Amino acid sequence: IVAQPGADFPSIDIRDEFRRNYLLGGLKPNTKYRIQLKARTSRGLSLSPAIIEITTNESLVPSKPSFVISAVGNTFFNISFNPDMMAVPGSVFFARYKENDKDGQAIYKKTYDVTNERTIMVSPLDPGREYVVFLVASDGIRSEVESDRKYIRTRGVDPGTNVTKSAWFIGTIVSIVVLIIILAVVCGVMRKRGGKYSVQDKETLHGHEYGQDDGKFSEYYRAPSDASIKKSTASLHDGLQDDDRDSMAEFGDGQDRQSRFAEDGSFIGQYGRDDKRRTYLVKYDESNGEQQPYSTSV
């Protein structure tokens, strides 16, 4: 039982029956403490405790500590130390560690503080990585002393750099997701509109005559009426019929037909005669819009 005049501290239970010393840390400098020590047996605690009164020293700079690596795992390692071996022991102990990277960008991390313990577990760590660690002894107020640095490699296989945790990878994924969302919105809007362009909007933009096609070339003009076309067509048809009748009559029957053809039925030498063929042409009179047929000899 550790007690300070006017204040009580919780009891400290020491289970090691072979232990003959114990360090009480975390005390204030230049302060008087009363310590009550009781023994425990199978019958219970002693009735008359031993009482020790002691005054702590002024704040002194602790001696340089030392430690050993007591255990190594995949994600942790333990360091052990003995304050009794120090000329001026510290009141508070902790460890600082970091990954032994090549570029030296890693930052030291701090473990939890211990006062009465003799072991500190350093974790969590990555498997298969090398770390640098050192022990710090403090008086609990302002003075701190560091031990020599040691290098330790955790067990297991180094998984390598986790790309999914990199800032550039996360930024790239976020950018891709945003682009996909924007593309989906644009496609949805275009599909909703259907790509249609109102005819009324076209006429408003290009004028009322937009899109009207009369099916003719600009250099030709339509006749004033269909009557003249029908009349010219009939005249041309009658002329062709008369020409056909005249041509058939010229051949005749019997002897006359044989005289017109050679033995082999050819027409050789038959075109030098004075037979005339009439061809009817149609002339378009632009003055009154009518078509007048006229003939010419061939």
DSSP 169-212: HHHHHHHHHHHHHHHHHHHHHHHHHTT---HHHHHHHH-TTTT-
Segment 41-52, tens digit of pLDDT: 888 888 888 888
What is residue 199's predicted lDDT score, i.e. its pLDDT?
Answer: 58
| Residue 296 vs residues 169, 195, 249: alpha-carbon distances, Å | 92, 61, 21
Counting every residue written for the chain, the total comes to 298
Mean pLDDT is lowest, of 15-19, 125-129, 183-187, for: 15-19
8-12, 192-196, 234-238, 273-277: which is most confident: 8-12
Model pTM above 0.85: no
Sequence-distant (6+) residues with CB within 8 A of 251 are 257, 260
Spatial distance between the Cα atoms of 67 and 149, rounded to a whole number of angstroms: 10
- Angle value at C-alpha 33, between 31 and 34, nearest 5 degrees: 165
Q: Please check whether residue 30 is in contact with residue 5, taking contact to mean a CB–CB distance below 8 angstroms.
A: no
What the block records as the tokens of 31 is: 């302060």
What is residue 220's predicted lDDT score, i.e. its pLDDT?
Answer: 47
Residue 97: Cβ-neighbour burial (10 angstroms; 0-12, 13-18, 19+)? buried
Mean pLDDT is lowest, of 42-51, 164-173, 225-234, for: 225-234
Percent of the chain with pLDDT over 70: 59
At 281 the three-state DSSP class reads strand
The span from the first CA to the last CA of the chain, in angstroms, equals: 149
What the block records as the tokens of 32 is: 């008087």
Segment 263-296, tens digit of pLDDT: 555 555 555 455 445 555 555 555 555 555 555 5
Spatial distance between the Cα atoms of 233 and 228, rounded to a whole number of angstroms: 8
Q: What CATH number does the domain located at 68-159 have?
A: 2.60.40.10
At 295 the three-state DSSP class reads strand
Q: Please check whether residue 84 is in contact with residue 21, taking contact to mean a CB–CB distance below 8 angstroms.
A: yes
Q: Please check whether residue 124 is in contact with residue 77, taking contact to mean a CB–CB distance below 8 angstroms.
A: no
Mean pLDDT is lowest, of 129-133, 164-168, 173-177, 193-197, for: 193-197
Spatial distance between the Cα atoms of 79 and 112, rounded to a whole number of angstroms: 13
Spatial distance between the Cα atoms of 34 and 6, rounded to a whole number of angstroms: 10
